Amino acid sequence: MNDDSVPLGDSKSKRKRQMIALQEIGEKLVDLPSAQLSKIPLDSTLLAAILATHSLTSHEAKRRQLQYIGRLMRDVEDIVPIQTALDHVTLKSQQSKAQFHQIERWRDRLIAENDQALQAFLVQFPNADRQQLRQLIRNAKKKEGSDKALFKYLKACL
């Protein structure tokens, strides 16, 4: 006889997948700098465990600490706010990296090419000051290290 009123628990495989997923979230949290960790809603025990990992040098000690963090993650009642905040921080980091690379490409292109690159930049970013941009490009071509000033100006334009 099979009693359908008794709920069946999750299978062992499913529980193990969930535990591994929580441990992976913990690993992502460990990889974040302290400034970004402060933006994620973590309880004090979990935050202390994550911060303790930053000072460990032994591979085996880090592995054990990550397992401990995974166990602490299983005790978290609602993982959704942590996952949402982690996704938001990760997305912002990816966007800032993409913007940095875009600025680098424009800087390199403006220095390497002539007026075509300048015109293309001014079409895409009409708020840029043509005269100041030309001066920064000339300085970057002449002096080593002047490309930093051009980079800063491009960053302000973008």
Q: For residue 120, give the H/E element and its range.
A: helix 115-124
Of 77, 111, 131, the residue that ends a domain is: 77
Is residue 7 a part of any domain in this protein?
no
**Residue 1 in domain:** no
Residues 70 and 23 placed together within one structural domain of the fold? yes
- Residue at 86 is within a domain: no
Question: For residue 78, how many other CB atoms are within 10 A of its CB?
Answer: 8
96 in the same domain as 63: no
pLDDT in tens, 18-50: 888 888 999 999 999 988 898 899 999 999 999
Per the structure, how many domains does the chain have?
2
Residues 56 and 102 reside in one and the same domain: no
What does the pLDDT read at residue 8? 61
Residue 72 has pLDDT above 60, yes or no: yes
What percent of the chain shows pLDDT beyond 90? 67
Q: Does 98 fall in a domain?
A: yes
**Is residue 129 in some structural domain?**
yes
Among 1-5, 25-29, 63-67, 104-108, where is mean pLDDT lowest? 1-5
pLDDT of 75 > 80? The answer is yes
Predicted confidence at residue 6, as pLDDT, reads: 46
Task: Please check the confidence at residue 116 and state whether its pLDDT lies above 80.
Answer: yes
If phi > 0 it is left, if psi is from -120 to 50 it is alpha, else beta; for residue 113 that is beta
Residue 53, burial from CB neighbour count under 10 angstroms (0-12, 13-18, 19+): buried
29, 54, 77 - which closes a domain:
77
CATH number at residue 28: 1.10.60.30
Q: What pLDDT sits at residue 1?
A: 47
Residue 82 lies in a domain: no
Q: Is 153 a residue whose pLDDT tops 80?
A: yes
> Residue 35: exposed, middle, or buried by beta-carbon count in 10 A (0-12, 13-18, 19+)?
exposed
What integer pLDDT is reported at residue 155 of this predicted model? Answer: 92
What pTM did the predictor assign? 0.64
Domain presence at residue 122 = yes
Instruction: Report DSSP state, residue 19.
Output: H
- pLDDT at residue 145, rounded to an integer: 77
What is the pLDDT of the chain when averaged over all its residues? Answer: 89
Predicted pLDDT at 95: 92
Q: Which of 26, 45, 77 is the endpoint of a domain? A: 77
Q: Is the Cβ–Cβ distance between 86 and 25 less than 8 Å?
A: yes
Burial of 150 (0-12, 13-18, 19+ CB in 10 A): buried
| Residue 17 covered by a domain | yes
How far apart CA 115 and CA 70 sit, in angstroms, is 56
Helix (H) or strand (E) holding 128: none
Q: Please give the pLDDT value at position 15.
A: 86
Domain that includes residue 108, residue range: 92-157
Domain identity same for 58 and 101: no
96 and 50, same structural domain? no
Structure-token pair, residue 141: 């071509």
